[in-house]
Amino acid sequence: MDMNDYIISTETSKQCFMNPIGRNGFADLPCSMGFFYGDNVNKEAELRPIPDFPNYFVNDLGEVWSNKKYNGRPSGELVKLKPYLNQKGYLNIDLFTGGKRHKKKVARLVVNAPPDKQVDHRNEVKSDNNISNLRLCSNSQNHMNMISNRGTSKYKGVSWHKSLKKWRALICVNFKSISLGCFEKEIEAAIAYNIGALKYHGEFARLNIIERQP
């Protein structure tokens, strides 16, 4: 397996120019890295260097590019690299430096995540690495936004208490369960969870979708 396995195409549908000052009338257009796509600058698509990995770049769309010389490809020819899914469903990319291959999560490259932080996908779509869908978080905050595995209830944080024969609402805070009460109706427990999630989880709260009752 080599770097060519991860290249989509060396001929992209939008021609890329490197250091285009004085070429095609782009001299006065702003671009942090000097990369352009076609005739228009898309600020979302501006490339920025990936720290510690020369000749690799990333943009806010979640794309990873390289102008690294490899297998006869001249240095400076910019190509978009093809990510692949890891076992947990996140997109990875392989970066090469110093003769070694390094597996990196694309999401972490997009936000330049420090080692002590995780990256949360706001919409829980693990392959959506647009920067607008990503935010830095702690391990506990990342768990707050997870979609729960369905048990006895269709709602997150709600389960059937056999001995009490009621619906119980529980919420996890700092990896400890807090009881939010027991209720006759499942929907009441779901509402209680939503209130607790807003209180304890804040912006990372994943709320139950509750249909209006007749």
- Under CATH, domain 140-204 is a member of which superfamily? AP2/ERF domain (3.30.730.10)
Q: What is the pLDDT of residues 64-96, one digit of tens each?
A: 999 887 666 666 778 899 999 999 999 999 999
Q: How far apart are CA 51 and CA 32, in angstroms?
A: 15
pLDDT digits (tens, 9 = 90+) for 28-58: 223 333 333 333 334 457 999 999 999 999 9
The CA distance from 95 to 97, in Å, is 7
CA atoms within 13 A on the CB side of 74: 2
Instruction: Enumerate the domain spans of the chain.
Output: 3-137, 140-204
- Strands 84-85 and 91-97 come out as antiparallel
The residue assigned the tokens 């257009």 is: 29
Q: How far apart are CA 168 and CA 189, in angstroms?
A: 6
Helix, strand, coil percentages for the chain (3-state, nearest 5): 20, 30, 50
In this prediction, residue 181 has a pLDDT band, given cuts at 50, 70 and 90, of very high
Is the pTM higher than 0.85? The answer reads no
Q: Strand order in 84-85's β-sheet? A: 84-85, 91-97, 100-105
**Which of 10, 18, 14, 13 is CA-nearest to residue 79?**
10
pLDDT at 172 over 60: yes
Written as one letter, the residue type at 176 is K
Query: Each residue of 111-121: pLDDT tens digit?
Result: 999 999 999 99
CATH level 3 topology of 3-137: Homing Intron 3 (I-Ppo) Encoded Endonuclease; Chain A (3.90.75)
